[in-house]
Structure formats: structure tokens, C-alpha cells
């Protein structure tokens, strides 16, 4: 198999970005599914997609599709991805992977039973500047890593009915925005050994701001801040005993960084040169895993996505946020 045939489930803004980047990379986008034929047809015409389906079920059942990008909001990820896997398709699932760890474990189990790839579309993991950062860490340039700091803060709608503020829609800054710094911290430092979280909740009960302090192996400390009510610097840093990495705004998109020695010398400067938004790298990563038969994953193993959902569960427990239907 040289390339997979992609389908896109849902037609929102993130789906459009993904479709554009697939076209940029020359990947094989063959189908789209929406909840209406009109929406599917409009999206298909926009991105020159040959097959447009009026339901998610029809997309999942399409024999011409090998892998589906699930781009619905995260409260729908579990049901939508289950549908895809039950029809024998691989799945690349938008972040946050699910609402909670229990849903994530169910998808992990089903994919393993069916011999399929299910992986989280945390596109930042696959970006070229993040690949280089991992190389620098592995080379020992930073020395022993002592701290990681990252924020994801935006000025987003305050309407109580908006999905970011409605608990029935999985609202809150943590799962929509905080997943980025939490996943980044996991990538650099691994699983937290302790978690302390604070938040400000709005009138709907959703979290508008969330801050975390976590400890990791060897005593390293991480801090994160997420907010949906104000745009901050959106930068990140990794601090080691020999040097640090400062990642520029916006750190989770294709951007630049510097490696700075403890004495202030700049050891390396890196600037991303990426066509489009950069979502093609996660798609190419998924194709590579399927070709290799590596259903566990590498840059973001499914087991790690499940564990990260457990970290988010604990943060939500501490700040007092739960979603309808959770025990």
C-alpha cells in the first residue's frame, strides 16, 4: 500500500484546514461525510473531493475509504470513532481524544480487537520544530531538564450556549486549549507524579482559566496555563541545567525557537518553513504507522493519549468540572 484513501468526518473549520493541508501534501482525499447532503456537497466542491455522503454512517461504510479523520467536537469523538472502527477503518481523531479516560480506553480496546490504527490528531507532535526539539533533548544539549512551561490562552466567545462554555458540549478551556500544554509536558517530561490544579469557573460551570503545577520523574516541575477569556503570549520553554529552549509565539504551530546556553550564548536558532497550517504531518505520520503495521504509535502512542486523558480527568476532579453522563 503506497498511500491511504482518506475520508473526513464532519465539515467544520478544523476539517477545512485538514483538507487543505492534505491537498497541499498530495495525499489521497476521496470522501467526506456530514449530517446533511448539502453540507457534504459544499465541502466536497470546495476541496475537489469525489465522494460526498449525507451521514457519518455512509462515510464509515464507504469501501473506497481506508482511514477517517474524525473532526467533530470532542464530546462526539467516542461515538464517531467507534462507528469508524466498527466499519473496519483506521481513525485519526481530533484532540482532545475523548471526554475522559474511560472513553479513550474503550477506543483503544476496540481498535486493538479489530487490528486498526486509532491515534490522536495532536498535530503539534508532528511539526518539524518539535521533531528538532526532541533531537536536541536526546543529544543532551540541555543537560538535565528541570522545568517545562507552556500556555494556551485565547479570547474566545463568552456566550453560555457556545460549545466552549456549555458542559453538555464538553465546554471548558482545559479540554479545548489545555490539552496542548498538557500533551507537550507529557512529551518532554513524561507522566506527572503529582498534580495540583486551580481554575476559575464561569456561570455555566465550565472552566475559563486553568493552571497546573505538576512534578515529574527526577523532581522536574511543569507549569501550564489555559484560558478562553484572554489572549496571552502563547509561548513555551524547556529549562535544563546546561541550556534552555525558548519557543516563540505561537509555540504549538509551525514557529521558531532558540537554544540558549546558561551563560546566554545562543547555540541554535530554528525557523519553521511549512506550507499550509502543518496538519499534513500528522496525516503522513498515520499513513507511515499503517504501512509499518505499528498500531501502537510512536510520536504519540495510543497508550499515551489514554494516559493523558487520565491526567485531564484528575485536573477536572480537582477543579470540580464534570460532564453530563459521567459517574
187: left (phi over 0), alpha (psi -120 to 50) or beta: alpha
Using pLDDT thresholds of 50, 70 and 90, give the confidence band for residue 325. Answer: confident
Average pLDDT over the chain reads: 97
> CB–CB of 199/211 below 8 Å?
yes
Position 1 scores a pLDDT of 46
Q: Given a cut of 90, is residue 327 above it in pLDDT? A: no
Position 2 scores a pLDDT of 65
Across 295-307, average pLDDT: 96
> CB–CB of 289/297 below 8 Å?
yes
Task: Please write the tens of the pLDDT for every residue from 248-296.
Answer: 999 999 999 999 999 999 999 999 999 999 999 999 999 999 999 999 9
The full set of domains in the chain, from first to last, is 5-121 (3.40.50.720), 128-273+308-319 (3.30.360.10)
pLDDT cut 70: percent of the chain above it? 99
Position 184 scores a pLDDT of 98
Q: Count the neighbouring beta carbons within 10 Å of the beta carbon of residue 219.
A: 9
Q: Given a cut of 50, is residue 204 above it in pLDDT? A: yes
Strands 236-240 and 145-153: antiparallel
User: Would you give the end-to-end CA distance of the chain in angstroms?
Assistant: 43
Cis peptide bond prior to 17, omega within 30° of 0: no
What's the Cα-to-Cα distance from 245 to each of 127, 130, 132, 212, 237, rounded to whole Å?
16, 11, 11, 20, 5
Task: Please write the tens of the pLDDT for every residue from 7-31.
Answer: 999 999 999 999 999 999 999 999 9
Rounded to 10 deg, the angle between the 37-47 and 13-25 helix axes is 30
Amino acid at each position: 500500500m503506497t498511500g491511504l484513501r482518506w475520508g473526513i468526518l464532519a465539515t467544520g473549520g478544523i476539517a477545512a484546514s485538514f483538507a487543505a493541508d492534505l491537498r497541499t501534501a498530495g495525499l489521497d482525499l476521496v470522501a467526506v461525510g456530514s449530517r446533511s447532503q448539502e453540507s457534504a456537497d459544499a465541502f466536497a466542491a470546495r476541496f475537489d473531493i469525489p465522494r460526498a455522503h449525507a451521514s457519518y454512517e455512509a462515510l464509515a461504510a464507504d469501501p473506497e475509504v481506508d482511514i477517517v479523520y474524525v473532526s467533530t467536537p470532542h464530546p462526539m469523538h467516542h461515538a464517531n470513532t467507534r462507528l469508524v472502527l466498527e466499519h473496519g477503518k483506521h481513525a485519526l481523531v481530533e484532540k482532545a481524544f475523548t471526554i475522559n479516560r474511560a472513553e479513550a480506553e474503550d477506543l483503544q480496546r476496540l481498535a486493538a480487537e479489530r487490528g486498526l490504527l486509532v491515534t490522536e490528531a495532536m498535530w503539534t507532535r508532528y511539526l518539524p520544530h518539535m521533531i528538532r526539539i526532541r533531537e536536541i533533548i536526546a543529544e543532551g544539549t540541555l543537560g538535565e531538564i528541570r522545568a517545562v512551561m507552556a500556555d494556551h490562552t485565547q479570547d474566545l466567545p463568552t456566550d453560555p450556549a457556545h460549545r466552549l462554555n456549555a458542559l453538555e458540549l464538553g465546554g471548558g478551556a482545559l479540554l479545548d486549549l489545555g490539552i496542548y500544554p498538557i500533551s507537550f509536558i507529557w512529551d518532554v517530561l513524561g507522566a506527572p507524579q503529582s498534580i495540583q490544579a486551580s481554575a476559575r469557573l464561569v456561570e455555566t460551570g465550565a472552566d475559563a482559566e486553568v493552571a497546573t503545577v505538576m512534578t515529574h520523574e527526577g523532581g522536574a516541575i511543569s507549569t501550564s496555563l489555559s484560558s478562553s477569556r484572554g489572549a496571552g503570549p502563547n509561548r513555551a520553554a524547556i529549562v535544563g541545567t546546561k541550556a534552555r529552549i525558548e519557543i516563540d509565539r505561537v509555540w504549538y504551530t509551525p514557529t521558531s525557537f532558540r537554544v540558549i546556553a546558561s551563560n546566554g550564548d545562543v547555540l541554535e536558532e530554528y525557523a519553521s518553513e511549512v506550507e499550509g497550517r502543518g496538519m499534513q504531518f500528522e496525516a503522513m505520520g498515520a499513513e507511515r504507522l499503517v504501512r509499518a503495521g505499528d498500531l501502537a504509535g510512536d510520536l504519540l502512542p495510543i497508550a499515551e493519549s489514554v494516559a493523558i486523558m487520565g491526567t485531564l480527568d484528575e485536573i477536572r476532579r480537582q477543579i470540580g468540572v464534570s460532564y453530563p453522563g459521567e459517574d
